[in-house]
Structure 1
Amino acid sequence: MEIISFKDIKDIIKRGDVIGLAALSASNLPVNVLKHIVEAHDEYGNLDNLTLMVANDISDYRGDGYDLDSFISRKMIKQLVLSIIIGSPKTIEAMKDGDVEAYFVPQGILTTHYREESNKFPNKITKIGLHTNVDPRYNGGKVNKNTKTDIVSLLEIDGEEYLQYKFPKVDVALLRGTYADTKGNIYMNHEAHLGEGYGVALAAHANGGKVIVQVKQIVQEGSFKPTDVFIPSELVDYVVVNDNPKLHRQSMQSYYDPAISGEYRVNGMQEEFNALSTKKVILRRSAQFLNKGHVVSIGFGISNDLSNLLVEEKADNLVQLNIDIGNFGGMIGSGKNYGMNYNVDAKLRHEMTWDFIYNGGLDVAYLSFAEIDQYGNVNVSKYGDRMNGCGGFIDISQTVKKIVFSGTMVVGSKTICADEHLIIEQEGHTKKFVEDVHNLDFNAKYSRELGQEVYYVTERAVFKLVDEGVKLIEIAPGLDLEKDILAHIAFKPIIADNLKVMSNKIYQQDWGELKQIIQDNGSNY
């Protein structure tokens, strides 16, 4: 391991390199390293034609740092391999316009492939992604027409179908830790989550590449327990020491909060409980599918606030929440705090969390939707002017036993809750229940083959996936079936013979019944 200055980085990275990053938003993002790469390109103009691989969305969100948009605006990137992108508007526009080659692939597949990327395990072979947009029989994860190279192929082994993912080899790993000791071991003491930096370092090392790690401080060898080492020194080539707090943020909100890194526990939810709203009604109804003991995956979107609701209802001790980045248990932050847990029970490396998920560790997943079609297929990644990517949606939805998709029924509608029922003040402008989804992230037919239990929850109605398609099983109190529901669905759903009315109690300010409902649902142990 060699301690270098940030200005030395320009002599390590070369034009055309494949760069592996391991971060979530600003967390674990080596912003000062990115800053000096950009500045070197501005001065010398030779750090372009790069391929960037990143399993999670990265952005400083504050406008005072360096992220994907800093590279894209300078035309430094030739190719992107991503799972999700939300906070980089210039990058999204470049992908739409075909100015950069890009792929959206399942997050877990991208994350776990790094540690297997060697001559002994040349490619990733898996069933994850079959019958979705990632499958080469659709478009193989390609984002635009200028993306030509196939990185996903279809295989048949012993009469069964698999996908083979062939990712670019990593030349440079750009990573972050809290401390490096004098030998070069990396520690993650102050980080909000562990991430997949170990795997990215392995991939670069196996390829004869270089591993650069940004840290806060160098400490004496032996300062921490051997079991605290996140990346061993044998995988670390260079360490750079950051002295600018805003370029080494623990999260978007803070440079360092010891409660987020798990160094002490807090009393109570660190955010206000959500006010009564359409979103809260959807979450209240969705949460009623939980059983005591369920291990629950919390997806990005409306389900961010499920933890908030469980704490408010004093039911958080009945289930175990999981964020696929690697945090288990605790109170999960909402909105921009997503993925930043207080009172976590365990932190695993990102790739280890996907091992847990792929091997049946989850009981139920709470996921969002952008579109649902007549067959029950779901689009979450590309719709209207939005281009988000699939994130871990495909991995989780093809692995878990039960799925609860949550979202509003109509884009742009304005609703309120009053007198214990739903009132539609202004109708929306775009249907989310469509004849055919524009992008296939969840394949309903394949889900039936996997034997999954699937529900779709909105503020107006609840649907269930059955062999024949989408079945309407509940409607909200105060709504007209034809005018308020069926008129805003582009297909005719199956209507249950015993169509029920959702409990009017979830439309009132205070509820307080979730804990008993989960207990009555029985134990998952």
Structure 2
Amino acid sequence: MKNKFISADEAAALIRDGDTVALMGGGGGLMEATTLFQAVERRFLATQAPRALTVVHALGIGDKGSRGMNCFAHEGLVRKVVGGHWVWSPRMQQLARENKIEAYILPGGVSSQLFREIGAGRPGLFTHVGLGTVCDPRQGGGRMNEAAQDDLAEVVQVEGREYLRYKPYPVDVALVRASAADEDGNISLEHEAANLDAAHIALAARTSGGTVIVQVKEKLPRGALKAREVRIPAAWVDAVVVDPEQRTSYDIPFDPSLSGELTGAERAAEALPELGEFDERQAVARRAACELFEGAVVNYGVGIPDAVAKLVVRRGELHRIYQTIEHGTYGGSLLDGVLFGYARNASAMLDAPTQFDFYGGGGLDLAFLGFGELDAAGNVNVSRLGGLTVGPGGFIDIAQNARTVVFCGTFAAKGVQLATGDGQMRVLRQGAVNKLVQQVDQVTFSGPQSLERGQTALYLTERGSFRLTREGLELFEIAPGIDLQRDILDQMDFAPRIAPDLRVLPASHYRREDDGLGALTNRR
């Protein structure tokens, strides 16, 4: 067999003008082929080639600076980007805003699963995920700027029910990240902090007649890998680039607790996570945690949901629920911020498309997610904020399929001043930006679709709690210390229903010293 091991610059030279390039990765450097990305950028800056690439990725990739998708954020290098999440590359967001590229979004799970369908040679992904949202062709079809004109999906009928068919496309190059390759090119993910969609991206390129390039940390002798350790067989791999400096994350060289390699006594007792200074986020997290119950299968999103996850750990209740994140991980202590997607000492790691299969089939009891905008119909927008392309990541796949979805967020933004910690919540200065609007800029979660599915949808803020009803959004709880008219109704762009049994939330949610130990209920 030929020698598949080449340099990063030789690998970058394999990409041609106009190619469709599939990338993988998550924020903070999770499963990111950084060396390959940098080689592509280096070649373009030196030679102005390759040009007019189409770049596809399921989750957010980058550091808001120079890495990840930022390596591709050069006018001329890319023509079209189909991204699940864009916030880690402000430069790419700006190119989209200025119509210098075609900008699209797809649900993260849809993108990962579509790689699988392409790899299997099937006619696209047929799914209910995305119906009634910005990814529905009747609501924009994932097009995020005027330059974007392609139809990524179509509405189809199957046995009298509507579905979306996300259209397949050829993958010319797959840039994959893994841990090790043997001399033949068999690939292991043993030391990675997730699996993501590595194998599915590789197979999509293989089936398309494209090129599969894998970045690894080490080269192993032939036969060094056990058959069950191989996650991508050599038959799918065209080229391997070894980067001995490859890191678990941008800032962590290697940590076996993040790759799930520790068992039993090897797992050192971890310090309880710090909740940070008590504020409105902690108050919302305490209220959100009241929705948990014994044996619940749970997903946490970014933002205030992080605080819910930390609260569960601090209460010693992690073993009483099944914790998941869309990257394919179960259990463990979740990292947050730029390291969202990492879990320390996880109990299981699946491929992301399989995790999204579980979500799409209704496996989640509870999802805790953030919100950017919320409107009178219960619609939520997280995909375009302030005119910038943000993208949903796994939000649509998760929010649309959990039995109960709990949106957690602050009531307003920009200039808000609040005081809490003594059993009350007081508004010292109202925000300049209302987040509860008459109609959201984009529908990333559809309230009407949620009602049709029979979901329970809650919207929790530091000032009060809302729920979705057939008559619209209903306020059913209010924080102690909040003036209903001045602090809630006057700060909304629409008039919600007021529950006849409107109640005042317990002071314990707003008391600094009260951490609500043992708050997990036993109901289902």
The TM-score bracket by the shorter chain reads over 0.9
Corresponding residue of 2:40: 37
Conserved 8 A contact 1:288-1:514? no
CA distance in 2, matches of 1:67, 1:512: 38
Deviation sequence 1:219-278 (CA, Å, 0-9, x none):
1233333212111111111111113x2xx3312331211211122223134642322111
Mean Cα displacement is larger for which, 365-374 or 263-272? 263-272
Match of 1:281 among 276, 280, 283: 283
Conserved 8 A contact 1:111-1:351? yes
Matches within 5 A, 1:199-278: 199-243=200-244, 245=245, 248-264=246-262, 265-269=267-271, 271-278=273-280
Name the count of aligned residue pairs.
Answer: 516
User: Does residue 350 in structure 1 map to residue 346 in structure 2?
Assistant: no
User: Does residue 135 in structure 1 map to residue 136 in structure 2?
Assistant: yes
CA distance in 2, matches of 1:258, 1:304: 22
Corresponding residue of 2:460: 457
**Structure 1: gaps spanning 5 or more residues:** none
Question: Given the superposition, is the C-alpha separation of residues 140 and 269 from structure 1 closer, same or farther in structure 2, using an over 3 Å criterion?
Answer: farther
Match of 1:367 among 358, 366, 369: 369
Conserved 8 A contact 1:269-1:308? no
Conserved 8 A contact 1:305-1:333? no
SS at match of 1:305: helix
CA distance in 2, matches of 1:54, 1:414: 38
Q: Report the alpha carbon displacement of residue 385 of structure 1 after superposing the two structures with TM.
A: 4.0
Question: Given the superposition, is the C-alpha separation of residues 116 and 231 from structure 1 closer, same or farther in structure 2, using an over 3 Å criterion?
Answer: same
Deviation sequence 1:406-442 (CA, Å, 0-9, x none):
1000113121214211122221111111111110111
Matches within 5 A, 1:84-163: 84-117=85-118, 120-163=121-164
Corresponding residue of 1:433: 436
Match of 1:507 among 497, 510, 513: 510
Corresponding residue of 2:49: 46
Deviation sequence 1:372-407 (CA, Å, 0-9, x none):
111111111112244311111111111110000010
Q: Report the alpha carbon displacement of residue 119 of structure 1 after superposing the two structures with TM.
A: 7.3
Q: Report the alpha carbon displacement of residue 74 of structure 1 after superposing the two structures with TM.
A: 4.5
Match of 2:309 among 307, 310, 314: 307
SS at match of 1:518: coil
Mean Cα displacement is larger for which, 18-27 or 257-266? 257-266
- For 2:335, give the aligned amino acid: G
**Structure 2: gaps spanning 5 or more residues:** none
SS at match of 1:117: helix
Q: Report the alpha carbon displacement of residue 444 of structure 1 after superposing the two structures with TM.
A: 0.8
Q: TM-score, normalised by structure 2?
A: 0.95
Corresponding residue of 2:62: 59
CA distance in 2, matches of 1:192, 1:202: 21
User: Does residue 495 in structure 1 map to residue 498 in structure 2?
Assistant: yes
Corresponding residue of 2:474: 471
SS at match of 2:520: helix
Q: TM-score, normalised by structure 1?
A: 0.95
CA distance in 2, matches of 1:100, 1:490: 34
SS at match of 2:130: coil
CA distance in 2, matches of 1:327, 1:69: 26
SS at match of 1:258: coil
User: Does residue 83 in structure 1 map to residue 84 in structure 2?
Assistant: yes
Q: Report the alpha carbon displacement of residue 445 of structure 1 after superposing the two structures with TM.
A: 1.0
- For 1:95, give the aligned amino acid: A
Calculate percent identity across the aligned residue pairs. 34
- For 1:347, give the aligned amino acid: M
Match of 2:423 among 416, 420, 423: 420
Q: Report the alpha carbon displacement of residue 120 of structure 1 after superposing the two structures with TM.
A: 4.0
- For 2:345, give the aligned amino acid: N
Corresponding residue of 1:382: 384
Q: Report the alpha carbon displacement of residue 514 of structure 1 after superposing the two structures with TM.
A: 4.7
The structure 1 segments of at least 4 consecutive aligned residues displaced by more than 4 Å after TM superposition are none
SS at match of 2:260: coil
Conserved 8 A contact 1:259-1:266? no
Corresponding residue of 1:296: 298
CA distance in 2, matches of 1:327, 1:237: 29
CA distance in 2, matches of 1:242, 1:220: 16
User: Does residue 173 in structure 1 map to residue 171 in structure 2?
Assistant: no
Conserved 8 A contact 1:419-1:508? yes
- CA RMSD across the alignment: 1.6
Conserved 8 A contact 1:21-1:175? yes
- For 2:497, give the aligned amino acid: I
Question: Given the superposition, is the C-alpha separation of residues 150 and 385 from structure 1 closer, same or farther in structure 2, using an over 3 Å criterion?
Answer: closer
CA distance in 1, matches of 2:13, 2:384: 38
